[in-house]
Chain A
């Protein structure tokens, strides 16, 4: 095909293999920019409809109009991988993008977290999501938009509340204590049991061995728990929860490895183009301009950015690592780490200093002040927003005999409570599908334990 030779796709693939990159074949598809915008909003080429995506879509369009963002490519890992290229990319853009995509393809085939998740969700994520979308369209036809929407309102608002350490096809709790105990939550359970009051609960629990409480341990996979244990949900509603959960499993590694993955792809597009003997010089120069735009730490003319560009940070760390220890060493890290380990282990004080990274506090009165650039603070500030899929940790702690649901915000690491107004809205969503009383415990503004509830009969 004419388009293929124009951006040196074959040559770049061969070159990538010669550097040891190892990837499944990638199907490239050229699509209009409007489609790229949608993919950026939905995260998947075809995805279930929901009004909240419409809001994000408008924000994206506005940003796009203001020239803040341009999307060159989106790639879906799998076998084959699937990459979309914007049809307004120049040949030079596409040459760069092709090399970039191969970097991602190498990453997603070899990174441990990606591999583990792909083993579960399969390698045809695009088809899987399209399938979900189709089933939800059917549900809309059968049960009406309003009804499907209230299920999606709840499921999508709990999108981040999964337990990635459990299997996707996780079964219900078993009835006996040994199997019911969750080995992976062991450390957590132990910690939980040392909380004041924990001992008494256990003591009373031991008297009634046959009745294992549900959940047997605080359960953080809210989507799974609701799908499995909601007393009054219909099967198709449970399916929606599981569909959302499956997509969340897919999204998790992308989220948890963003710095590494974007850095890796940026490193390889730069390296492959630099070492490509077949590229005309002017095309290379143009491509490097685009490259430096992509991995630029600050946007526009600004000298100081109040966020970090993951492309730039990841690129810089990989560049330094490969220079010092060689590609093989870097590949081992790429295979075994996620952003938590990557940042903590490989962003050292020297590099942070060179990159001018700093921690700041943004106060309520609008003041923004640089606090420090101590390396451990930097690490934690960078990865802080990534814990628990970027959401506060909330667990199911109890399900009453009447089906009442009890949720607890595990505030230990965060040190403060939930935004009350939003928390109330979310438990309202949950209540509409759980259909029995829902109570939520968190901390109030003064740091005292407090509760929100909905659906309780007036006393």
Chain B
């Protein structure tokens, strides 16, 4: 065989298939797609992160991302990993690297591909897009299209007269071609060929919203409950923001009294005493009437509490809720609870249930953990989309 194998073959140098695509890049893109999928799958956690409610657009959520690891069977890390090294002057007993002060080292035996982390920034809008995609929601139209106060010029129709700036050349040439086709000795253009775009004054539907957040700040609302309410508020607000060009907010906290707060104060406020929700509903109503004329704004009211309310305040709350509902587009009730059953069967839960049976749009959400927030958000958005008509 040696003599057979002695013939030589040429060196090939040409552009071939491997120049046409990069497999590495393709599989890397697929990896990234999977990363995004896996981030999407952790939307509930993404949704629990943000701290600020009302900052304008371009907000981002930072998510630490690990390269996905393709898992294999591997031995557990022993107390020490044995390795072989090479180099002059390394004698038994020599310490090549001291222990890290914190007791934890980078570990000589590399953490592998799975250990590498990078931070991906996701725009809140992007996350909302995923949400919308996942929920297959249509893009919502504002509901109060009957209350018109803005108008805008829109293009509408074509005319034979008009200022030169609005000459529609395509249409003009089209007319000329049509004419020339039936004339025996056509001239290139006549005045009759000219077509102008027309503008019309068109009423624009109202796209501003007012969102009132009401929170029970009595001592029974602990940090965990507040965090749950806050997460829900944040995403509900983002969803509403998507459908409106302008958003105004107001923050109300209550015990047996009610006060308006700034956003920063809102979640930090802690008060003692009982719970009379009607006070907060009354204040909400005042604020709406003073600042957010219902004919100008889509009004959303969200109320978060643990469900308790003085029985003596039941009638007052019922009445206030009714009149508030009459001037709002949407009333949302968020109940933070540790219970796994019999949710929303509380003093306040029952009041909102009654409200649901009435005219206005309402929604009640029981939040026990982050996953509930996620489900509540989904329900809120879906409800918004489906109650459209």
Contacts and interface: CB of A to CB of B under 8 A. Distances in A.
Do the two shown chains form a genuine complex with each other?
Answer: yes
Interface of A: 1, 3-4, 9-10, 13, 17, 22-32, 34-35, 37-38, 41-42, 45-47, 49-61, 79-80, 87, 145, 153, 156-161, 297-298, 302-309, 312, 355-373, 378, 381-382, 384, 391-392, 394, 409, 414, 416-420, 422-423, 425-426, 429, 445
B6 A17 contact: yes
B133 interface: no
Nearest to A377: B82
Contact of B22 (A38, A358, A419, A422): A38
B84 to A, nearest CB: 5
A26 B105 contact: no
A35 B100 CA distance: 40
A364 B8 contact: no
A364 B107 contact: yes
9 contacts: A30-B13, A55-B28, A55-B113, A59-B113, A157-B70, A307-B83, A361-B83, A368-B108, A392-B75
Given A3-B13, A378-B84, A445-B76, A42 B108 contact: no
Interface residues of B, number: 67
Interface stretch (B91-99, B144-152, B171-179, B239-247): B91-99
Interface string B5-26: 1111111110000110011111
Contacts of A58: 28, 67
A370 B93 contact: yes
A374 to B, nearest CB: 9
A305 B108 CA distance: 12
Contacts of A161: 73
B163 interface: no
Contacts of A422: 71-74
Give the dominant DSSP class at A's interface.
mixed
B164 interface: no
Interface stretch (B29-37, B51-59, B212-220, B292-300): B29-37
B27 interface: yes
B72 A426 contact: yes
B387 interface: no
B68 interface: yes
B24 A41 contact: yes
B188 interface: no
B68 A419 contact: no
Contacts, number: 275
A391 B6 contact: no
Contacts of B103: 365
B27 A356 contact: no
A90 B90 CA distance: 37
B290 interface: no
Given A41-B24, A356-B89, 20 more contacts: A1-B10, A13-B8, A30-B11, A37-B24, A49-B27, A54-B24, A54-B25, A59-B116, A160-B72, A298-B86, A306-B96, A308-B85, A358-B84, A358-B85, A358-B90, A365-B100, A366-B106, A381-B83, A419-B74, A445-B76
A54 B28 contact: yes
B81 interface: yes
A30 B9 contact: no
A366 B27 CA distance: 34
A19 to B, nearest CB: 12
A17 B75 contact: no
Given A45-B18, A51-B27, A364-B77, A157 B71 contact: yes
Contact of A366 (B30, B68, B79, B105): B105
Contacts of B94: 369-370
Given A51-B68, A357-B86, A366-B105, A4 B10 contact: yes
B88 A303 contact: yes
B9 to A, nearest CB: 5
A297 B83 contact: no
A373 B74 contact: no
A356 B19 contact: no
Nearest to B17: A46
Contacts of B28: 51, 54-55, 57-58
A56 B67 CA distance: 10
B72 A391 contact: yes
A29 B92 contact: no
Given A55-B68, A308-B85, A419 B24 contact: no
A30 B12 contact: yes
B87 interface: yes
B78 interface: yes
A13 B7 CA distance: 10
B92 A371 contact: yes
Contacts of B200: none
Contacts of A372: 92
Contacts of A306: 83, 85, 96, 108
A28 B12 contact: yes
A263 B15 CA distance: 33
Contacts of B105: 363-367
Contacts of A391: 72-74
A356 B88 contact: yes
A420 B5 contact: no
B157 interface: no
Contacts of B10: 1, 4, 27
A416 B34 CA distance: 33
Contact of B73 (A34, A307, A357, A423): A423
A57 B25 contact: yes
Given A305-B86, A366-B108, A417 B9 contact: no
For the complex of A and B, list the 6 residue pairs with the smallest distance between their C-beta atoms, beginning with the closest.
Answer: A366-B105, A362-B108, A304-B87, A54-B27, A57-B24, A54-B28
B80 interface: yes
A156 B361 CA distance: 53
A414 B73 CA distance: 13
A305 B2 contact: no
B12 A392 contact: no
